[in-house]
């Protein structure tokens, strides 16, 4: 369950997801891996809450690539 309510508008939710994905980059630049992990979980949860048929392959690819970055970073720790 999401920690905060979001408007039901899928386009707005996709915008919010991309903001969280950007946050991951910012956090990794400052070596805040745990916080980046939390941002990824939030982005993924919001994306998965989109109604059927409202997905976006670019966002899905970005979510996946951020997961790969986080996994690589975690392996180095």
The pLDDT tens digits for 50-60 are 999 999 999 99
Range of the domain at 39: 10-76
* pLDDT score recorded for residue 1: 43
Contact 41/26 with Cβ under 8 angstroms?
Answer: no
Say if pTM beats, i.e. exceeds, 0.75: yes
Give the percent of the chain with pLDDT over 90. Answer: 83
The pLDDT tens digits for 36-72 are 999 999 999 999 999 999 999 999 999 999 999 999 9
* pLDDT score recorded for residue 65: 97
Tokens of 15: 């915008």
Q: Is residue 1 part of a domain?
A: no
């Amino acid at each position: 369950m999401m920690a905060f309510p979001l408007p039901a508008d899928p386009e707005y939710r996709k915008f919010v997801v991309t903001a969280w994905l950007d946050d991951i980059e910012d956090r990794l630049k400052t070596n805040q891996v745990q916080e980046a992990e939390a941002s990824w979980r939030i982005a993924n949860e919001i994306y998965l809450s989109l109604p059927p048929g409202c997905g976006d392959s670019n966002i899905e690819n970005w979510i996946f690539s951020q997961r790969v970055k986080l996994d690589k970073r975690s392996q180095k720790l």
